[in-house]
Structure 1
């Protein structure tokens, strides 16, 4: 498992350094997004915790409580036969700088194996850069809208408009 994570890390770094046309800020956000999805696919809860906003960890009752919550979510999905198989980061990235943070809206496509087929979902993540973008945290937007985003990202200034949610697409196995 450790060797697999090491190889995945090398692949991520190689892939990330080959992306052209992104600013240093966007590249930091993309690197964090890559690390986030790799951690999700490898059940690496420590990395997921490191990429979670500290306020959310505090709201969940601390690191151990949040780790238990992540594990429960994962176990529930697996019990239902839902497994994240892959993801793709799309090109239309938006960013905004607030007083204390940088917010980068990253469009993504995820593919999950479900009983009887696959589900493809188009969505967005928000990468939150702090400490002059030396630290990045990832926020999933699936349950966020303009009315509740401030509860998750306190410094969100509405410079970026959250896109409408698209319905997932189910493709039956043949």
Structure 2
């Protein structure tokens, strides 16, 4: 029995370490997602740009063009009476390690005020951890599928399956 004790202690330590590491990754991804939604609600374009993958910023023509595009999108939404009011990160987080990145699929629930009511939407974000997960980026999946995701996240390896998109639910004001 004594020969098994070091083995059991090692196994317990490895399990505890991997759970701690997963929790740290999850927390980094959750922190980035919370910062992303807070920035969207506050029209904080600088934070949104800092949470955008560098390749996407380059594809947009640089930081200034990205800032301009974000401003136009938000102005257009405001002009239509669309305002993000709240968000919630759901529990079923899934992650995968690929090449030098960590990909975390984060289910979210958002509530937006729209003319005549509110829209509740269930969707997913992908948090991309780089530099040993010290830097996180956030990618919306609304226009992504298994065929075009590699154009946005070059190191995506399909080990996480993108869920089917759900239609938003409109609830009329009373």
| TM-score interval (norm. to shorter) | 0.7 to 0.9
Aligned to 2:32: 32
Aligned to 2:69: 69
1:166 aligns with 2:166: yes
Superposition RMSD on alpha carbons, in Å?
1.3
SS at match of 2:70: helix
1:107 aligns with 2:113: no
Distance 2:121 2:115 in 1: 16
Aligned to 2:121: 121
SS at match of 1:157: coil
Shift of 1:100: 1.1
SS at match of 1:166: coil
SS at match of 1:133: coil
Larger Rg: 2
- Segments of structure 2 that go 5 or more residues without pairing to the other structure are 1-21
SS at match of 1:81: coil
* Residue pairs, 1:49-68, within 5 angstroms: 49-68=49-68
Normalised TM-score (structure 2): 0.87
Normalised TM-score (structure 1): 0.87
Aligned residues: 155
Distance 2:114 2:148 in 1: 29
Aligned to 1:10: none
